[in-house]
């Protein structure tokens, strides 16, 4: 049986990969080729050697795939996991307040419109903003990822507001009144919570030794 591991190591050109990733690729590919050779021997088929052009193309594909995996893993660790922790914490705390029967305070803007303010929730939001930014920084996230992770509850509320805008338009007879309600809702559920989250994030947005 051919020494596939040596052949792969000699022919596979992936210099931009970290050494541990390169060895992992070599081990996986050589194991696959050994299995192919063993299956071929059973059925009387010989595994044909790859040409230089095929090795070059294979190297490029592997390098591109592994690079994308590294980027995705970094984004998951520094953005999505910290962001989901922030979002889950804020959502569960709001659910707890509603379960305990805590009622929002109404801040009247005029005779017909008022903002709904859950003061305990707003006071707690800096904690959840800080949680997302801290977890992102600890995982090596840059400032943009830290900011986005801590702001994910407000970003989620923004997306919900955008999705509900057509519904709001359908229930209002006048465009100007509908836009006023929409602007008030965005301020109530996106702007104010976003500022509260940002307040908690600020200590963790300073530049450190972590990379962007």
The string of pLDDT tens digits covering residues 78-96 is 999 999 999 999 999 999 9
| pLDDT number for residue 185 | 83
Residue 209 lies in a domain: no
User: Quick one: 140 and 152 in the same domain?
Assistant: yes
Residue 212 lies in a domain: no
Q: What tokens does 153 get?
A: 């509850």
Of the residues 16, 39, 73, which one is the last residue of a structural domain? Answer: 73
**21 burial level (CB within 10 Å; 0-12, 13-18, 19+):** middle
SS3 40: helix
SS3 104: coil
CA distance 95 to 107: 21
Contacts by residues 38-43 (CB-CB < 8 Å, ≥ 24 positions apart)? 38/1
User: Quick one: 37 and 85 in the same domain?
Assistant: no
Residue 211 lies in a domain: no
Of the residues 29, 50, 73, which one is the last residue of a structural domain? Answer: 73
Residue 210 lies in a domain: no
User: Quick one: 61 and 51 in the same domain?
Assistant: yes
Residue 56 lies in a domain: yes
User: Quick one: 165 and 80 in the same domain?
Assistant: yes
Helices and strands counted in the chain (H then E):
9, 2
User: Phi, psi (5° rounding) for residue 105?
Assistant: -95, 140
Domain count, the chain: 2
Decide: 108 and 188 in contact? Cβ < 8 Å: no
SS3 51: coil
Q: Is the Cα torsion angle 22, 28, 34, 36 positive or negative in sign?
A: negative
User: Quick one: 147 and 200 in the same domain?
Assistant: yes
pTM above 0.85, yes or no: no
Residue 155 lies in a domain: yes
Q: Which domain holds residue 131?
A: 75-204
Is residue 113 within a helix (H) or strand (E), and if so which, with residue range?
Answer: none
Closest CA to 96 of 118, 67, 79: 118
| pLDDT number for residue 73 | 79
Q: Which residue has the higher pLDDT, 196 or 66?
A: 196
User: Phi, psi (5° rounding) for residue 16?
Assistant: -80, -10
Computed over every residue of the chain, the mean pLDDT equals: 77
Of the residues 27, 52, 73, which one is the last residue of a structural domain? Answer: 73
How many other C-beta atoms are found inside a 10 Å radius of the C-beta of residue 46? 8
How many other C-beta atoms are found inside a 10 Å radius of the C-beta of residue 72? 11
Is residue 114 within a helix (H) or strand (E), and if so which, with residue range?
Answer: strand 114-117
SS3 108: strand
Residue 115 lies in a domain: yes
What is the C-alpha end-to-end distance of the chain, expressed in Å?
Answer: 47
Q: Which of 16-30, 102-116, 144-158, 180-194 has the lowest mean pLDDT?
A: 16-30
| pLDDT number for residue 74 | 80
Decide: 40 and 46 in contact? Cβ < 8 Å: yes
């Amino acid at each position: 049986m051919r020494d596939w591991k040596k052949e792969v190591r000699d022919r596979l050109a992936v210099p931009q990969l970290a050494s541990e990733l390169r060895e992992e690729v070599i081990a996986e590919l050589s194991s696959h080729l050994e299995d192919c050779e063993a299956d071929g021997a059973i059925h009387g088929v010989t595994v044909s050697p790859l040409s230089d052009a095929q090795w070059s193309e294979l190297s490029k594909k592997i390098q591109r795939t592994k690079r994308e995996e590294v980027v995705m893993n970094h984004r998951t660790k520094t953005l999505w996991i910290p962001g989901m922790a922030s979002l889950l914490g804020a959502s569960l705390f709001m659910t707890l307040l509603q379960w305990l029967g805590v009622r929002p305070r109404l801040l009247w803007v005029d005779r017909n419109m008022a903002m709904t303010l859950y003061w305990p929730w707003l006071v707690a939001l800096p904690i959840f903003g800080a949680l997302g930014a801290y977890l992102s920084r600890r995982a090596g996230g840059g400032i943009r990822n830290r900011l986005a992770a801590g702001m994910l509850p407000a970003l989620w509320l923004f997306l919900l507001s955008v999705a509900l805008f057509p519904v709001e338009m359908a229930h209002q007879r006048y465009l100007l009144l509908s836009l006023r309600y929409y602007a008030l809702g965005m301020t109530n559920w996106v702007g104010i919570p976003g500022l509260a989250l940002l307040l908690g994030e600020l200590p963790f947005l300073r530049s450190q030794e972590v990379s962007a």
